[in-house]
Amino acid sequence: MIDLLLLMASIACLSVGLAGAVLPLPGPPISLIGLFVLNASKYADFDRTTLVIFTVLTVALSVFDYYAPIWGAKKFGGTKYGTWGSTIGLLLGFFFTPIGMLVGAFLGAFVGELIGKAGTNQALMSAIGSMIGLLTGMIGKIILCVAMIIWAGTAVVEYFFMMNT
Total number of residues shown for the chain: 165
pTM given for the model: 0.82
pLDDT recorded at residue 99 = 78
Percent composition of the chain: helix, strand, coil (DSSP 3-state, to 5): 80, 0, 20
Task: With CA atoms as reference, report the closest residue to 83 among 23, 22, 141, 126.
Answer: 126
Q: Identify the pLDDT of residue 147.
A: 97
For 158, the domain range is 2-51+58-163
pLDDT in tens, 20-62: 888 778 899 999 999 999 999 999 999 999 999 999 999 999 9
Q: Which residues contact 8 (CB under 8 A, 6 or more apart)?
A: none
Number of domains the chain is built from: 1
Does residue 73 carry a pLDDT above 90?
no
* Average pLDDT over all residues of the chain: 89
Say yes or no to pLDDT of 86 above 90: no
